[in-house]
Amino acid sequence: MLIPSPKWLRGDDVAASEITPREVFESRRRWLALAAAGAAGGALGPWFAREALAQNPAAQKLPATPNNAYVLTDKATPYDDVTTYNNFYEFGTDKSDPARNAGSLRPRPWQVSVEGLVKRPKVYDIDELTRLAPQEQRVYRLRCVEGWSMVIPWTGYSLAELIRRVEPQGSAKFVEFVTLADKKQMPGLGSPVLDWPYTEGLRLDEAMHPLTLLTFGLYGEVLPNQNGAPVRLVVPWKYGFKSAKSIVKIRFVEKQPRTSWNIAAPQEYGFYSNVNPDVDHPRWSQATERRIGESKGGGFGALFAPKRKTLPFNGYAQQVASLYQGMDLRKQF
């Protein structure tokens, strides 16, 4: 994002999959069936599990119950695209680098320190954190500030579940997320493209919003390393870069924390970073996006995918717009 390069929008390293109206219809039908199975108390539906297993037989399953409150009619982005077209600068700046290089990340053993202005600070072992609350399957859009988007069946639970357990003090106004920075595991740290470790932040009410997902898996399996194993955030109404990967520390603070992208380019990346089609990035428009995997008939992924209108708050305005009442989101971008 820092370096102006049209390559990000070209997405020429994406394997495109051709989508026919029939496939779209079939996929919707499968998803509705899955949602129905969830309502009947079934565990992980067969469609996600089958697709992930076919492409990654070594994957470890992460059982979850579909949450019907978070169903989309959009077709889910193919597993192959979700796991090979990534932003994870600790493993390189090309979209294909994380899938190639993240094999050196060791997601176990792993601990997450929850600290700062809370009554019950605690260092959680990743397995305890995984079991802290029931794992849910939720389908969310993820939209990158670079102009591409995906639709992904994530597995996790609301971050609020964890926040309630550690009991923030009255003085806690923001939450800072610090991610792993280990040169032995992450070859990209040798490059000064960002101020390591990668950090992000949310206002406490944003962090408490039920949509904010502490995420342990996708497509019914534990997170692949390149997608932020073993635990990441997904904040679906904000640009993808707010969704910090491979988190090691969650800190409750009084003042708005510094964030890696804001430090790198403050005029381009603000603290809030809500998806906003009306506020252009200084170097490109944010009015439209291309859905990865939607290009027809060729290996040029994002380039030939049809443009879609970007929705305010990435389509989640009804749920989250009230958080920003009275704020000028052109200034607080």
Ligand X SMILES: Nc1nc2c(c(=O)[nH]1)N[C@H]1C(S)=C(S)[C@@H](COP(=O)(O)O)O[C@H]1N2
Stretch that binds Mo ion, among 95-103, 142-150, 247-255, 276-284 (CB under 5 A): 142-150
Q: Is residue 51 a known part of a binding site? A: no
For Mo ion, the binding residues in 184-243 under the rule CB under 5 A are 240-241
130 interacts with, out of Mo ion, ligand X, none, CB within 5 to 8 A per kind? none
Q: Which is nearer to ligand X, 141 or 209 (CB)?
A: 141
Tell the smallest beta-carbon distance from residue 302 to Mo ion (Å).
13
Q: Smallest gap, in angstroms, from Cβ of residue 168 to Mo ion?
A: 28
Asked if residue 197 has a cis previous peptide bond (ω within 30° of 0), the answer is yes
Name the residue nearer to ligand X (CB basis): 136 or 289.
289
Q: Which does 216 bind (CB under 5 to 8 A by kind): Mo ion, ligand X, none?
A: none
Smallest separation (angstroms) from ligand X to the CB of 186: 9
Query: By C-beta, is 35 or 86 nearer to ligand X?
Result: 86
CB-based closest residue to ligand X: 240
Query: Binding residue per annotation — 76?
Result: no
Phi/psi of residue 81, nearest 5 degrees: -70, -40
Residue with smaller CB distance to Mo ion, 87 or 246: 87
Window 66-105: residues binding Mo ion (CB under 5 A):
87
Report, in Å, the least distance between residue 33 CB and ligand X.
Answer: 26
Segment interacting with Mo ion, rule: CB under 5 A, options 141-149, 169-177, 306-314, 321-329: 141-149
**Interacting residues toward ligand X by CB under 6 A:** 86-90, 142, 144, 179, 198, 227-228, 240-241, 243-246
**Considering the complex, what minimum distance in angstroms separates the CB of residue 270 from ligand X?**
14
For the purposes of burial, counting CB atoms within 10 Å of the CB of 181, is it exposed (0-12), middle (13-18) or buried (19 or more)? middle
- In the complex, the smallest distance separating the C-beta of residue 22 from ligand X, rounded to whole angstroms, is 27
The minimum distance between CB 217 and ligand X, in angstroms, equals: 12
Give whichever of 91 and 252 is closer to ligand X, judged by the CB atom.
91
Determine the 3-state secondary structure of 251 from DSSP. strand
Three state DSSP letters for the chain: CCCCCCHHHHCCCCCCCCCCHHHHHHHHHHHHHHHHHHHCCCCCCHHHHHHHHHHCCCCCECCCEECHHHCCCCCCCCHHHHCCCCCCHHHCCCCCHHHHHHHHCCCCCCEEEEEECECCCEEEEHHHHHHCCCCEEEEEEEECCCCEEEEEEEEEEEHHHHHHHHCECCCCCEEEEEECCCCCCCHHHHCCCCCCCCEEEEEHHHHHCCCCEEEEEECCEECCHHHCCCCEEECCCEEHHHCCCCEEEEEEECCCCCCHHHHHCCCCCCCCCECCCCCCECCECCCEEEECCCCCCCCCHHHHCCEEECCHHHHCHHHHHHHHCCCCCCCCC
Question: Do 264 and 194 meet the contact criterion of CB atoms below 8 Å apart?
Answer: yes
Partner interacting with residue 89 (select from Mo ion, ligand X, none; CB below 5-8 Å by kind): ligand X
Pick what 86 binds: ligand X, Mo ion, none; C-beta below 5 to 8 Å, kind-dependent.
Answer: ligand X
Question: 89: annotated binding-site residue?
Answer: yes
* Alpha-carbon gap, residue 237 to 331, rounded angstroms: 18
244 is in an annotated binding site: yes
Binding residues for Mo-molybdopterin: 86, 89-90, 144, 179, 227, 232, 243-245
Binding residues: 86, 89-90, 144, 179, 227, 232, 243-245
Contact set with Mo ion (CB under 5 A): 87, 144, 240-241
